[in-house]
Amino acid sequence: MSGPKEKDINTDAEKIDTIGQLLLDPELKVWYSSDSASHAQKMYRTFQRDLTLRALPSNYMWQHY
């Protein structure tokens, strides 16, 4: 007996939706849920940047080595 087939995630919108559904932090979850349609229209790399900027503290210093 096998379980349900796992769904392939191919498009940027599918990647963004999957990540949005799996967010655990309440503030990030609200940020995503409040504008999920707009987020789904972004390119994945743009969404990833926006999410990273939202998740980091405002005084975070990027260090390049």
Checking if the pLDDT of 26 tops 70, the result is yes
Mean pLDDT over 17-39 rounds to 95
Per residue in 33-65, pLDDT (tens digit) is 999 999 999 999 999 999 999 998 878 877 766
Q: What pLDDT is recorded for position 3?
A: 61
State the Cα angle at 35 between 18 and 61, rounded to 5°. Answer: 80
Q: Tell me the whole-structure pTM to 2 decimals.
A: 0.77
Q: Where are the domains of the chain?
A: 12-52
Return d(Cα 24, Cα 26) in angstroms, integer. Answer: 6
Residues 6+ positions from 36 with CB-CB distance below 8 Å? 17, 20
Q: What pLDDT is recorded for position 64?
A: 67
Checking if the pLDDT of 2 tops 70, the result is no
